[in-house]
Amino acid sequence: MSCLFCEIVAGERPAFVVTSDEVALSFLDTRPVFKGHLLVVPRAHVETLTDLAEVGPFFERVQHLAGAVEKGLEAAGTFVAMNNRVSQSVPHLHVHIVPRNRKDGLRGFFWPRTRYASDEEAESYAAAIRRTS
């Protein structure tokens, strides 16, 4: 069975990659809650958090990237979340890191989605985060 995120990890599908190492890959969500919204995925295919053997190294990357999103995008904070099976659109563990600012309009879990105007705009957001990661 094909996995969208495994294809991105393997370089078989395009993505705006922010970071990549032996543990995890991070890239921009194609339908971000706010621009700069990242997904962080383990390189190894695991479906849920309970399937992940090396939790510490993976969440060290998540922690680092949450800070990079704040610094790189001059955000007041971040929203960090993940689903396990229910509401998990791709059955590959992934953590959302969403830049947040006061009065940004995010209410509860009914998130409006937006799109990048162009590949160049998406790359500029990826580069801003990449510079501080």
Rounded to 5°, the CA angle 101-111-67 comes to 40
DSSP assignments along 66-119, one per residue: HHHHHHHHT-SEEEEE--SSTT-SSSS--EEEEEE-TT----TT-------SSH
> 82 near 95, Cβ under 8 Å?
yes
Which whole-number Å values give the CA distances from 72 to 44, 84, 97, 129, in the listed order?
A: 27, 28, 13, 5
Q: Which of 37, 64, 92, 94 is catalytic?
A: 94
Active-site residue, 64 included: no
Map tokens 């194609």 to a residue. Answer: 30
Give the residue numbers annotated as catalytic, written as ranges. 94
